[in-house]
Structure 1
Amino acid sequence: MHCPCRGKLKLFAASVTFVVLLTWLYLIVGNLENGRSLLLYSCLVEQSDSSYMERDMLEMRMREVVEENQQLRLQLSQSQGAVAQVQDGNYGNQQWVASADTGPEDGENTAEERSNQGGNHSDCVHRPMVEKCELIHVACVCAGHNTSRDVVTLVKSILFHRRNPLHFHFITDMVAHQILSSLFQSWMVPSIQVSFYDADELKSEVAWIPNKHYSGIYGLMKLTLTKALPSDLTKVIVLDTDITFATDIAELWAVFRKFTDKQVIGLVENQSDWYLGNLWKNHKPWPALGRGFNTGVILLLLEQLRRIGWEQMWRLTAERELMSMLSTSLADQDIFNAFIKQNPVLVHQLPCFWNVQLSDHTRSEQCYTEVSDLKVIHWNSPKKLRVKNKHVEFFRNLYLTFLEYDGNLLRRELFGCPSQPSSESIHLQDALEELDEDDQCYDFRRERIMVHRIHLYFLQYEYAPTEDDADVTLVAQLSIDRLQMLEAICNHWEGPISLALYMSDAEAQQFLRYVLASEVLKNRKNVGYHIVYKEGQFYPVNLLRNMALRHANTPYIFLADVDFLPMYGLYDYLRKSIVQLDMAHSKKALVVPAFETLRYRLSFPKSKAELLSMLDVGTLYTFRYHVWTKGHAPTNYAKWRTATTPYKVEWEADFEPYVVVRRDCPEYDQRFVGFGWNKVSHIMELDAQEYDLVVLPNAFMIHMPHAPSFDISKFRSSSSYRYCLTMLKDEFHQDLSRKYGSSALKYLTAERNI
């Protein structure tokens, strides 16, 4: 392009160059003063155990620095663009991306990226960013327990940066549906909608395609999105579950504005040599355009895809290629690439920073010059964090930041954007308004109505019902300081187990690593681990028990504590007792007598006779006889020593045995948090419902020693704690009387006679 003002060209170029130098100087000073945003990301990882206030400050400061640096890079990019325009006299010819601008909504492309893409860079045409409250739609295919965990990290990274309402669309199997629906319902993030679509109803669409990819049939599900998603949904961002966002997803949503009239699919070029066919001898990939495209991040214009007959077109492509290829190796990606090679005009090539692919055979490092320019990290390898890359530590820290980030901090409002509150949030707000903040026991009452985030079946879970309908699940709860008990319990109890674990996001990852490193635990699939994320001041013991109880899958449950070891063979003994005592047609609570040892190392008794010998020599004791005799005295240990048949006992005040009951028993009262009266109140209600308390003559469990819990220490040291517990007990008695009438008066009388 010829410039008529050639006489002033050198002066203009010198002026712009001077602006560039000043901008660089300002950028360097800003970085020295404020610290790099990368360091702040690392701080978030290193400070995962710091207080919420410190993390909020870090988060706020990080956002400020990132935004400041982005603005500075924008100024620099504009100045460099102006210099390039003067020096070259033109913007170059676009090869793939047909739109004429790469506006600031995409971030600022480096010179290398513009060269690689052949992209035009215009500083004169700036299309608007996404509207402030525009709803952004995101779709994922998610199946199974492990993938459900991955989705949570992806969602955290999106929520951390987002400034727009979001609607997540999940194509799930039954397992992922249960996990994610419970998670989002309890998470209660404002301005978030979630929809689920049954993958089983879509399997017939792709089941005919032979597929060698490790993701199985679910790796083909993206092909069905035009059919699976609502017909009035016009566009959607489609993501793999192993994606981490480092920017606001609205920037990616804005790229839709750059599509030409013919473009319907947005993809990033594949960063491996897979489709070049040179990875090994006789390697024959599916056909692709050049290096092909990666389907970890896709922009789909659903309306236009339906209009051009996408479903018929990809089917014809797959049928044709399968005649020679026999099966897919990379699932939907092979079919997408074969389709695009036949229809290249339909694809819009995204800048590579929207899908930086990390696996063994990628060239992701050629995609960028500065890691701070990256938008999306794709851990597209089964080995995940063990890939090789010169910046892998940065990528790993970014990933770990969101993996262990406290999801409670993401419950922030989008101010200025109207949203429809969920029924759960409305109920919570109504309950909060009924509380008196001047009440001395306000904190206790607040805990009762608190909604905790819940991640059901955190690990792989498998259970097959027994034929006799007498199966029983051990139900318990724990925090991270009791993890060491899990292996021993699994060695003593071969039946199903349901555990509620009270943990922070970071502790949940420690727990995951602990299980995967244990030969005993990682091979046990009939243990349901349900994470209840930490929030509030007190340990929500009865909420945890209820969570484990609700997700037991057997007709009967053994209500235990995690610091007890059941006797060897107790599982089989309980199943036989359930049948013999006809628990299916009677209201019984089978009492398992509790004992304790003060020794950290114990030769566990293999029979009742051996246990009685250990009692006689003082190696074992009846549980809590030193400090709380009333809790188990009604078990009648003297009678148990010689009993050969089950015997009935009567309820007494403060009785709190460990029992086997039907799964439809009353739940625990959640007003009791921390220490005190959590089991006592439950046994009292069983008695109010006329359950017979029956002691099993050949069953026992032994409490193992451990340090006192934090809550028992608070109970012993705080008079306010003890006062509030008394108040809660009185209110429980009143509620029991209203619920069960005059027959419940005996509990109040028994309390007053103590």
Structure 2
Amino acid sequence: MVFDLSWREVLMGQDSKAQSVNVKSVEGVLTLKNSRGQSIPGTENMKGESTAGGEGNDGIPLESPSKCEVIDVAIVCAGHNSSRSVVTLIKSVLFYRKNPLHLHLIVDSKAHLILRTLFNTWHIPQMDVSFYLADNLVPEVNWVPNKHYSGVYGLLKLTLPRALPSSLEKVIVLDTDVTFATDIAQLWTLFAKMGPSQTLGLVENQSDWYLGKLWKNHRPWPALGRGYNTGVILMSLSKLRKMNWPHLWRMIAERDLETMLSTSLADQDIFNAVITQNPHILFEIPCQWNVQLSDNTRSESCYTEVTDLKIIHWNSPKKLRVKNKHAEFFRNLHLTFLEYDGNLLRRELFGCTANYTGGAGTTGSLQVGVVPTNVEEQISEDDQCYEFRIVKFIKYRTHLFYLDFEYESEDEADVTLVSQLSMDRLQMIESLANHWEGPISLALYMSDTEAQQFLSFVLSCEPLAQRKNIGYHIVYKEGSLYPVNFLRNVALRQVTTPFVFLIDIDFLPMLALYPYLKRVIPNLRMDEGNKALVVPAFESLRYRLNFPKSKAELLKMLDVGDLFTFRYHVWAKGHLPTDFTKWRSATTPYRVNWEPDFEPYLVLRRDVPEFDLRFAGFGWNKVSHIMELEAQGYQFIVLPNGYIVHTPHSPSLDIAKYRSNPLYKRCLDTLKKEFADDISKKYGKTFAPEK
């Protein structure tokens, strides 16, 4: 499927107000202006529909780059929030682009993990990604006192001529808080209009900041007129290197810091100071390429109507909460890409299929779609169980640590609760967090739109918003079956504590289970041999339950029928080996033997085998894991004073499929037999799954 829509078509259907502005804009005649209100030559009668190449400052049409010419883009991205916002920027670029891209990402260790995983799993064709660790560049700028909220990372754009490969001659530099409304190739063509001495293409600043009139005694850094905004930069790297850029900017910054003491707008102050002393290096870009949306901007002076905007820039800590004449329109445009299904961007660029590489460090992929092409050789589409077999080959787009995560522990007995969920179980997170104060790793299976709803839910829930020891990992929806074991593996891989507690999201641990486990783990010498601690599972058939505060209270509830051993009525053998009769009077841990279909909830070392990906949806996803633990010689030890309680909820879609579809059951039986055969061959033990 080819996407060749204008941004007006993207916005259609957002809401009635957005549509009314939209329709008016398409029909209007546009006069583009710079921030001084002066018409930009050659744009006086430009229609709302943009052309492939656009026009230069002298009104002469620009030629588009060849369709296979690689466009290089550099972005500084540090931390969890920037890693999340850069995705929206990338979506907007990918939506309109017709050329191969090479992203050059300057990242800290957090963003490196997040974005490396995201792009490796996104599988976008004709896009390479290179990473440059910020730690290697920070020493070049950390001597500059900086009051900007971006911290030292807000200065790293100054290092790009040295940080990026010497073979790279030019690059578009972007802030993470910009959104494209046109093909990035139009911006790339402006490089051809730069004169021999022009090295930096910038849009004029649209606020009064550099005029020094915002408040009494306001002393901004030196700038030409209104100054220039560095959210979008055309950077001629080769020219900057020839003029010894590192020496130039440092010399000017050192001199101005004698009187200014620190920067307020990070790299932007220093870029402007350099331009003030060397105005010949400036190439002014029309202001629609950086429509700045902070509270004090005069961005509306860029356009007569809201039309033919190229890039919108949320250059304020308030981001989408800023006040602007057309704020609602701009928010709708941004939110369109925020919630846009990123899987739809895995499209091949027709006529440009040649493989290319951007050099060492690239992690991009030229594969198309979500399933490797050689899978067809392994699985026949005529197989009745094709839907089930294909699951383990799907490449699920994955965004790790979607929210801030800060947790370090030197406790050798520390344990992380590991679970997974979909949107219909979202409300269970708060209850889980109230019962477990320790670290949590959650994999969430969601669409792009649901991910934004989840974000709003967590940020509006005070107990969750304050927790920094919960790692939320978004796995974006793909395929027809719920990839439960893939999700478990994603959450499991992000654990940093020595031990994990593997649980389902619809269980609540007893209130003191976390400190209890940290006491028990050293006593049982869990670091020696393969040991798995069984936490007994119970359930209530009532939606309202007074949660048992102790084992004694739980036993009373069992006796009067307020609680039952888990799945006693429908799947007793799943937990029968736990030996609940013995547990009632046990005061010390006791060992139990594995039996077929055993699926307890366990505490183990972090290096536990991962879950088998062939099992998705309902059935045998935990059983298969426990079977492999048995094959590896794990001991199953029941904890006498720990327990979890299942909370009632509506049935999942997959269990409904299992109950109503005979083919589902046949395919599951086939997978069970194949898994048992594989385990038997791998470990030399005989396993035969019961039906």
TM-score (norm 2): 0.92
Match of 2:157 in 1: 222
Relative to structure 1, the CA distance from residue 104 to residue 130 in structure 2 (aligned partners, 3 Å threshold; closer, same or farther) is farther
Q: Which of 667, 670, 680 does residue 610 from structure 2 map onto?
A: 667
Relative to structure 1, the CA distance from residue 423 to residue 156 in structure 2 (aligned partners, 3 Å threshold; closer, same or farther) is closer
Deviation (angstroms), 1:45 = 4.3
Match of 2:521 in 1: 578
Taking the TM superposition and a 5 Å limit, the aligned residue runs for 1:299-448 are: 299-420=234-355, 425=367, 428-448=372-392
Greater RCO (CA < 8 Å, at least 6 residues apart): 2
Taking the TM superposition and a 5 Å limit, the aligned residue runs for 1:17-28 are: none
Question: Which SS does the other structure have where 2:527 is aligned?
Answer: helix
Quote the Cα distance in structure 2 between the aligned partners of 1:106 and 1:202. 44
Deviations 1:167-192 (A, max 9, x none): 00011100000000000000000000
Match of 2:58 in 1: 120
Question: Which SS does the other structure have where 1:730 is aligned?
Answer: helix
Match of 2:103 in 1: 168
Deviation (angstroms), 1:391 = 1.4
Is 1:102–1:120's contact at 8 Å kept on the other side of the alignment?
A: no
Give the letter aligned to residue 364 of structure 1.
Answer: S
Is 1:142–1:171's contact at 8 Å kept on the other side of the alignment?
A: yes
Match of 2:571 in 1: 628
Relative to structure 1, the CA distance from residue 303 to residue 104 in structure 2 (aligned partners, 3 Å threshold; closer, same or farther) is farther
Is 1:96–1:348's contact at 8 Å kept on the other side of the alignment?
A: no
Taking the TM superposition and a 5 Å limit, the aligned residue runs for 1:167-186 are: 167-186=102-121
Match of 1:54 in 2: none
Quote the Cα distance in structure 2 between the aligned partners of 1:603 and 1:670. 37
Q: Which of 555, 578, 582 does residue 612 from structure 1 map onto?
A: 555
Is 1:132–1:164's contact at 8 Å kept on the other side of the alignment?
A: yes
Match of 1:676 in 2: 619
Is 1:106–1:252's contact at 8 Å kept on the other side of the alignment?
A: no
Greater shift, 662-671 or 453-462, is seen at: 662-671
Q: Which runs of 5+ in 1 are unaligned?
A: 1-35, 48-64, 82-94
Deviation (angstroms), 1:416 = 1.2
Quote the Cα distance in structure 2 between the aligned partners of 1:349 and 1:429. 47
Deviation (angstroms), 1:107 = 8.6
Is 1:153–1:402's contact at 8 Å kept on the other side of the alignment?
A: yes
Question: Which SS does the other structure have where 1:412 is aligned?
Answer: coil
Quote the Cα distance in structure 2 between the aligned partners of 1:240 and 1:319. 25
Quote the Cα distance in structure 2 between the aligned partners of 1:44 and 1:522. 32
Q: Which has the larger radius of gyration?
A: 1
Quote the Cα distance in structure 2 between the aligned partners of 1:632 and 1:145. 40
Quote the Cα distance in structure 1 between the aligned partners of 2:462 and 2:575. 36
Is 1:589–1:694's contact at 8 Å kept on the other side of the alignment?
A: yes
Is 2:173–2:232's contact at 8 Å kept on the other side of the alignment?
A: yes
What is the number of equivalent residue pairs in this alignment? 665
Q: Which of 179, 182, 186 does residue 251 from structure 1 map onto?
A: 186
Deviation (angstroms), 1:576 = 1.5
Is 1:432–1:446's contact at 8 Å kept on the other side of the alignment?
A: no
Match of 1:41 in 2: 10
Give the letter aligned to residue 575 of structure 2.
Answer: H
Is 1:105–1:251's contact at 8 Å kept on the other side of the alignment?
A: no
Match of 2:543 in 1: 600
Taking the TM superposition and a 5 Å limit, the aligned residue runs for 1:631-670 are: 631-670=574-613
Is 2:539–2:564's contact at 8 Å kept on the other side of the alignment?
A: yes
Match of 2:359 in 1: none
Q: Which runs of 5+ in 2 are unaligned?
A: 17-21, 33-37, 357-363
Match of 1:53 in 2: none
User: Is 1:698 matched with 2:641?
Assistant: yes
Give the letter aligned to residue 499 of structure 1.
Answer: L
Q: Which of 127, 134, 159 does residue 199 from structure 1 map onto?
A: 134
Match of 1:503 in 2: 446
Deviation (angstroms), 1:578 = 1.1
Deviation (angstroms), 1:109 = 10
Is 2:125–2:366's contact at 8 Å kept on the other side of the alignment?
A: no
Q: Which of 414, 417, 425 does residue 482 from structure 1 map onto?
A: 425
Match of 1:564 in 2: 507
Is 1:500–1:531's contact at 8 Å kept on the other side of the alignment?
A: yes
Relative to structure 1, the CA distance from residue 680 to residue 294 in structure 2 (aligned partners, 3 Å threshold; closer, same or farther) is same
Deviation (angstroms), 1:597 = 0.9
Deviation (angstroms), 1:652 = 0.9
> What percentage of residue pairs aligned between the two structures are identical?
63
Question: Which SS does the other structure have where 1:428 is aligned?
Answer: coil
Quote the Cα distance in structure 1 between the aligned partners of 2:542 and 2:593. 32
Is 1:274–1:291's contact at 8 Å kept on the other side of the alignment?
A: yes
Give the letter aligned to residue 384 of structure 2.
Answer: Q
Give the letter aligned to residue 381 of structure 1.
Answer: S
Deviation (angstroms), 1:220 = 0.4
Relative to structure 1, the CA distance from residue 447 to residue 632 in structure 2 (aligned partners, 3 Å threshold; closer, same or farther) is same
Deviations 1:699-744 (A, max 9, x none): 0000000000000001001011111101111111111111112x2x
Match of 2:215 in 1: 280
Is 2:537–2:643's contact at 8 Å kept on the other side of the alignment?
A: yes
Give the letter aligned to residue 692 of structure 1.
Answer: Q
Give the letter aligned to residue 121 of structure 1.
Answer: G
Quote the Cα distance in structure 2 between the aligned partners of 1:228 and 1:338. 21
Deviations 1:225-253 (A, max 9, x none): 01110011000000000000000000000
Relative to structure 1, the CA distance from residue 250 to residue 109 in structure 2 (aligned partners, 3 Å threshold; closer, same or farther) is closer
Quote the Cα distance in structure 2 between the aligned partners of 1:44 and 1:558. 45
Match of 2:434 in 1: 491
User: Is 1:687 matched with 2:630?
Assistant: yes
Deviations 1:96-124 (A, max 9, x none): 99xx97899999899xx99xx9x5334xx
Taking the TM superposition and a 5 Å limit, the aligned residue runs for 1:60-79 are: none
Is 2:145–2:262's contact at 8 Å kept on the other side of the alignment?
A: yes
Deviation (angstroms), 1:466 = 2.5
Deviation (angstroms), 1:606 = 1.2
Give the letter aligned to residue 648 of structure 2.
Answer: P
Relative to structure 1, the CA distance from residue 129 to residue 673 in structure 2 (aligned partners, 3 Å threshold; closer, same or farther) is same
Question: Which SS does the other structure have where 2:618 is aligned?
Answer: coil
Question: Which SS does the other structure have where 1:429 is aligned?
Answer: coil
Q: Which of 383, 386, 402 does residue 458 from structure 1 map onto?
A: 402
Is 1:106–1:255's contact at 8 Å kept on the other side of the alignment?
A: no
Deviations 1:398-429 (A, max 9, x none): 10000000000000001111343867949822
Relative to structure 1, the CA distance from residue 733 to residue 306 in structure 2 (aligned partners, 3 Å threshold; closer, same or farther) is same
Q: Which of 290, 296, 304 does residue 225 from structure 2 map onto?
A: 290
TM-score (norm 1): 0.85
Is 1:44–1:401's contact at 8 Å kept on the other side of the alignment?
A: no
User: Which structure shows the bigger proportion of residues in helix conformation?
Assistant: 1
Quote the Cα distance in structure 1 between the aligned partners of 2:176 and 2:249. 23
Give the letter aligned to residue 218 of structure 2.
Answer: H
Question: Which SS does the other structure have where 1:584 is aligned?
Answer: coil
User: Is 1:241 matched with 2:176?
Assistant: yes
Taking the TM superposition and a 5 Å limit, the aligned residue runs for 1:529-544 are: 529-544=472-487
Is 1:41–1:397's contact at 8 Å kept on the other side of the alignment?
A: no
Give the letter aligned to residue 503 of structure 1.
Answer: M
Quote the Cα distance in structure 1 between the aligned partners of 2:107 and 2:640. 47
Quote the Cα distance in structure 1 between the aligned partners of 2:639 and 2:193. 73
Give the letter aligned to residue 554 of structure 1.
Answer: T
Deviations 1:316-360 (A, max 9, x none): 110111010000000000001111111111100000000000011
Relative to structure 1, the CA distance from residue 106 to residue 337 in structure 2 (aligned partners, 3 Å threshold; closer, same or farther) is farther
Deviations 1:641-675 (A, max 9, x none): 00011111111111100001111111111101100
Quote the Cα distance in structure 1 between the aligned partners of 2:175 and 2:561. 60
Is 1:105–1:129's contact at 8 Å kept on the other side of the alignment?
A: no
Relative to structure 1, the CA distance from residue 423 to residue 236 in structure 2 (aligned partners, 3 Å threshold; closer, same or farther) is closer
Greater shift, 38-47 or 711-720, is seen at: 38-47
Give the letter aligned to residue 11 of structure 2.
Answer: S
